Amino acid sequence: MRVLVITGAGVSAESGIPTFRGQDGYWRNLDPMKLATPEAFARDPQLVWQWYRERRWRIRNAQPNAAHTAIARLAQFAGEFLLVTQNVDDLHARAGLPKEKMVQIHGNIFVTRCSRCSWSAEACSGGRNHDDHGPGEPPTPPRSADDALVRCPKCNALARPGVVWFGEQLPWHEVQRVEDYLAPGGCDAVIVAGTTALFGYISDWALRASRGGGQLIEVNPEETPLSAFSTQCLREPAATALPRIVDEWIVATADQ
């Protein structure tokens, strides 16, 4: 079985990580959609770093939920598998999904990189000693006093989080990995879970992967632009629907 899974913030919502566009996404009355931009960083890098430090801290202290675990099981059981996640957290990896089966298309929140040159470093992510902290990061929990800006050790420009902001290009190498997976042809099953699917490349990958007659299953309590094209819409939380789908597939395959 050849499978593509695409996830968004809704999959981590049940681990306590706020989504972007939901009511809980607001941080200090600020809209994340306005913080995750190069313009916001140019205007107020300290504020943007505070938001990302707080998110790092929250992610470190969160645990993968049943949706992450189900996706990791599916990866083991499917003959061919790729996850494309828009999430910058490490919860898919901590649920046991190997890095080679996962593309983090919007980057990794635990990476700190230079805003000018190619320098980057990875801070300690979740599941390790919570007192460890990486470049640009205070010991947890973050406090407003811990707002010193980190500079690149190579060129002294400001360091920034290793994530993709609005209006920025996707990482070429990661896009290529998705394209390489889709090149040989369609998938038997495509699952799109916990995303508003508002970015054209997300719906394009889902539609292309299911074009050859494969199932396109949407898991989202709300309707999205992909709903009309889906063969099945599960209006349930991901941590409820995904373990059930994966169990059903494993049982059905064993019966064949």
| Residue 155 to residue 165: CA distance in whole angstroms | 22
Helix axes 172-182, 200-210, angle to 10 degrees: 20
Instruction: Examine residue 12 and tell whether it contacts ligand OAD (CB under 6 A).
Output: no
Q: Which is nearer to ligand OAD, 140 or 195 (CB)?
A: 195
Which of 1, 21, 115, 182 is in the footprint of ligand OAD by CB under 6 A?
A: 21
Which of 14, 90, 188, 218 is in the footprint of ligand OAD by CB under 6 A?
A: 14
Instruction: Examine residue 203 and tell whether it contacts ligand OAD (CB under 6 A).
Output: no
Find out whether 226 and 206 touch, Cβ atoms under 8 Å.
yes
| Residue 76 to residue 24: CA distance in whole angstroms | 33
Nearest CA among 65, 122, 116 for reference residue 95: 65
Instruction: Examine residue 39 and tell whether it contacts ligand OAD (CB under 6 A).
Output: no
| Residue 109 to residue 137: CA distance in whole angstroms | 12
CB of 165 to ligand OAD, least distance (A): 6
- Residues 147-166 touching ligand OAD, rule: CB under 6 A, are 164-166
Is position 133 annotated as part of the catalytic site?
no
Which of 4, 5, 17, 20 is in the footprint of ligand OAD by CB under 6 A?
A: 20
For 42, the 3-state DSSP assignment is helix
Binding site for ligand OAD (CB under 6 A): 8-10, 13-14, 19-22, 33, 36, 86, 106, 164-166, 193-196, 219-222, 224, 237-238
